[in-house]
Homo-oligomer: A and B are copies of this chain.
Amino acid sequence: MRRRVKLAFMVNDSARKITYTKRKKSLIKKIDELATLCGIEACAIVYSDFHSEPEIWPSPWEVQRVVTKFRSYSDFEKGKKMLNQESFLIQRIGKSREQLAKLEKHNWEVEKSLILSQCLVKENFIDTLNPNALNDLAFDINEMLEKITSKVNELDTNETT
């Protein structure tokens, strides 16, 4: 009953699948605990041969809930929110111009990373998509990256003038 398992690919198919099932379950639990204990949001994505599609936690429905909320902002609420943000930004800029620039840089890094991780998933999609869909995906990615880049450049320009 020793465990002493060498940290390497398990060549035994059945043992590997059992380990996968067990460890995946534990991993989900750990993620859930971390999120609960520390009040953060976390998700994990696993691409395995045991399933034809990536597995995602937390549930897509939970993620969808957040975005539904985001998309359901009325125009009024948007305006109100923007005013709040404006005040916040003015205060922040007054306090520290450099810090704001740093934040924007961070945001760009994150945005980029997320886009990239999205691309990673897209690449895994490839095996189940047709040529037209493939082209669409590539186009979307490039367009998105250009869009974000120009947005950040715009922010930088406004910031330095």
Contacts and interface: CB of A to CB of B under 8 A. Distances in A.
Contacts of A151: 133, 136
A7 B36 contact: yes
Most buried by B among A31, A43, A81, A103: A43
Interface in A104-134: 104, 106-107, 109-134
Interface in A25-81: 26-27, 30-31, 33-34, 36-49, 52-54, 56, 60, 63-64, 66-67, 70-71, 73, 78, 81
Contact of A56 (B7, B31, B37, B113): B113
A46 B111 CA distance: 14
Given A110-B54, A134-B85, A40 B48 contact: yes
A82 B134 contact: yes
A32 B128 CA distance: 26
7 contacts: A9-B36, A10-B38, A27-B30, A41-B47, A45-B114, A63-B117, A66-B120
